[in-house]
Structure formats: C-alpha cells, structure tokens
C-alpha cells in the first residue's frame, strides 16, 4: 500500500504547476481583454462628447440666424460664421421657392385667404474644434413668416408687409 501512495505522489508533482500556469494564462487574457474593452469605451465616450459639442455649436448657429437675420425675400442666400464655446459654426439662410408667398400651414392665419407664408431654410454646420476625429454636425431648420397674401406684390418680410404693384 505504501508503494502505491508513493507512486501516485510522484505522478502528481508536476500537475499542480501546469494547472497553476494554465489558470494564470487564462486570468492574464481576461485582464488584457478587460483593459482593451475599457479603452474602447473611453474612445467611444470621447467621440460621443465631440459629436454632442458639434451638435450644440450647429444649434447655436441656427439660434443666431433666428435672432439676427432679417428674413428678406429679396435675397436668396445669406451666410455667416461665428464661434460658440470655442467650436466654430457656419450657417446659411436661403429662401425656399425663391421667396414666393404660399399657403400657410394648417392652423396658421387661414382666415379668408388673406394671409400666406414665406418659407426659409437655415442650414448650420459645425465642427468640434477640440476633436482630432473630425466630429461634425449639420442641422437644418425650416421656418416661415406669415405675410399678406395678395395677387400682385413685392414682399419685404422683414417688415411683414406686402405692397401692391410688385413684379
């Protein structure tokens, strides 16, 4: 019986070392995989932050256009650029349908056909300046202005009036 125990013990001497090494390699691979996942998560979070900054700057461009432009139907395009929280933006204001008076949307000044609407499109493009990953955003906002709806007119919507006898 003693001989059997000694033989079994001699056979197990190297197995413990091999099992320990296999477990150590498995744990090392798990740790490396976790570090790679954490690094990728940080990169994705940074990209999302840059994209959100670019979106906010593009929205600032739209607000600037809404607050500062005179929405004149005689000009076809207006462009301006600025910087919002260190992120540059450029916006362009354009007339839809060359500034022609059209029917206003449902629920707005539809009484007896006296009023119509002139539609404008604001396109604002921004780039997150802190980003070396080219995070950009392009936002489009369409607005309309209610004006008098007359057959023969020239409109200056900055004054919200239409004069008879226009082209």
Q: What is the pLDDT of residues 6-39, one digit of tens each?
A: 566 666 667 888 899 999 999 999 999 999 999 9
> Mean pLDDT score of the chain, rounded to an integer?
76
Q: Cβ-count burial of 98 within 10 angstroms (0-12 exposed, 13-18 middle, 19+ buried)?
A: exposed
**Residue 99: strand pairing partners:** none
Output the CA torsion 8→9→15→16 (10° steps). 140
Instruction: Give the per-residue pLDDT at 67.
Output: 84
CA dist 74 and 157 (Å) reads 9
């Amino acid at each position: 019986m003693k001989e059997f125990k000694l033989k079994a013990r001699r056979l197990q001497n190297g197995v413990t070392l091999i099992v320990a090494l296999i477990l150590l390699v498995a744990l090392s691979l798990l740790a490396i995989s976790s570090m790679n996942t954490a690094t990728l998560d940080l990169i994705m979070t940074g990209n999302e932050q840059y994209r959100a900054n670019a979106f906010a700057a593009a929205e600032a461009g739209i607000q600037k256009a809404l607050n500062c432009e005179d929405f004149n139907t005689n000009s076809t395009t207006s462009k301006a650029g600025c910087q919002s929280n260190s992120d540059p933006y450029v916006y362009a204001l354009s007339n839809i349908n060359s500034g022609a008076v059209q029917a206003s949307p449902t629920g707005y000044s539809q009484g007896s056909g006296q009023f119509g609407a002139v539609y404008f499109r604001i396109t604002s493009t921004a780039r997150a300046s802190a980003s070396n990953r080219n995070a950009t955003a392009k936002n489009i906002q369409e607005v309309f202005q209610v004006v008098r709806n007359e057959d023969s007119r020239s409109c200056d919507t900055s004054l919200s009036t239409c004069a008879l006898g226009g082209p």
